[in-house]
Amino acid sequence: MIKGVQYVVDEKGDRTAVVIDLQKNSALWEDFYDRVLADSRRTEPRESLESVKARLAKSRRRSRV
């Protein structure tokens, strides 16, 4: 068992939820949240690294002017 993590169980004893102490396990929560966020964006269109770099470079040039 991980300290600061408690499971909520139903009447059958099956785990149905988890309670995480964020002060003790902030890194664990961040990992969980990152995974859920990535899964939620799985169907979004992809953008190549090259196009992102080009867009950022263009944005930086505009902000200097």
Per-residue pLDDT of the chain (65 residues; tens, 9 = 90+): 778 899 999 999 999 999 989 898 888 888 989 999 999 999 999 999 999 999 999 988 877 76
Strands, E assignment, 10-56? 15-20
Expressed as residue numbers, the domain containing 30 is 5-64
Tell me, yes or no, if the pTM score tops 0.75.
no
| Nearest by Cα to 40 from 48, 28, 32 | 32
When computed from its CA atoms, the radius of gyration of the chain, rounded to whole angstroms, is: 20
Question: Cα(57)–Cα(62) distance, rounded to whole angstroms?
Answer: 9
The one-letter amino acid at 19: V
Q: How many domains does the chain have?
A: 1
